[in-house]
Amino acid sequence: MESEKNREAEEAKVRAEQEKVRVEEEKKAAIAKAEALKKAEAEAKVEAERRAKEQAKREIAEKEEKAKRDAVEAKARAAEASARLAEKKAAAEKLQKEAQDKLKEAEKAEEEHKARLAEHKKAEEVLHKAQATKPVEEKPAIKIAAKEVAVSPPKPEAKKVAEVPAPKVVVPAVVAAKAAPPKANPTPVKAVKAVAFLKQDPCAGCTEGLSQSYQACAMKHGNPCAETNAAGLVTSGPGTKKDIGCCMKKEKHDRCLKCAGMDCAHGTCKVNKKYYKPRTIVGELDDKAAMKKSGWGK
């Protein structure tokens, strides 16, 4: 029994030493595990910091690249907008210049018309004066060319008539008829008939330039033919027209509108049927026939 006790004591001692060794090993293993975990955490932290720095660098680079692209696109858009603005400005200047040119043409035409009226009036006065001051037995010889009437001066014995030079002016048939005395010889009558063939076409000159001039006058004066009093107010009675030149354009415009509605069948007249509506489509538009003619659907 004593040997058995000694054996058990020895075994217990061995087990205690083994337990002590196991505990020591477990302790060392725990310490090593803790150190490895700590090291892994430090490495993970370093790696996370490195990745964060790389991500920040990439984001900064992307933002800089995006800012550069936006700047280039903005510059391109600004250049395109500037080019469009320049084109619109050039087109506006061109339209303004064309409008000014047309206004100048209208003013020039109005001045020429006034000059012709003055010449006509002067010629009529000269003819009336020559007819009133000459003797009854003497008759002026009227020579008519294509568009001119030459009135020969009277004899030198009439003082007032001698002072009037022999004018060479353009006069209509009405003035020539007035200049011819009653019961004249057959030659002046034939000449007056020849002048009658030079009558101006009332429907001539119905162009887009006239319509634009009329619109400019209407925008500026409304009805330029309205009669105004001394205070500049429109009255129903006689007075002064708002603008004589624009009034003449309005009357010509009204006449052209009537001419556009004339029936010119069989070549009886020659008018601008599309006056004041140059872009209006006349007649029915057959889309299907036009498409078929152009080759659509083949």
Yes or no: say if 213 and 249 are a contact pair by the CB < 8 Å rule: yes
| Partner residues linked to 143 by β-bridges | 150
**pLDDT digit string (tens) for 80-107?**
999 999 999 999 998 888 888 888 888 8
Tell whether the model's pLDDT for residue 275 goes beyond 80: yes
| CA distances for 259 relative to 19, 208, 210, 276, angstroms | 131, 14, 14, 11
Please state, rounded to an integer, the average pLDDT across all residues of the chain: 78
- Cα distance between residue 232 and residue 148, in whole Å: 41
More confident call, 194 vs 132: 132
pLDDT band at 120; cut points 50, 70, 90: confident
Which of 131, 128, 148 has the alpha carbon at shortest distance from 140?
A: 131
**pLDDT digit string (tens) for 130-158?**
777 755 444 444 443 334 434 444 444 43
Alpha helices (H) along 134-243? 159-162, 173-179, 186-196, 208-221
Yes or no: say if 140 and 185 are a contact pair by the CB < 8 Å rule: no
More confident call, 193 vs 45: 45
Strand 227-228 to 149-151 pairing: unpaired
pLDDT at 245: 93
Classify residue 119 by burial, with Cβ atoms within 10 Å: 0-12, 13-18, 19+. Answer: middle
- Phi and psi torsions of 241, nearest 5°: -65, 150
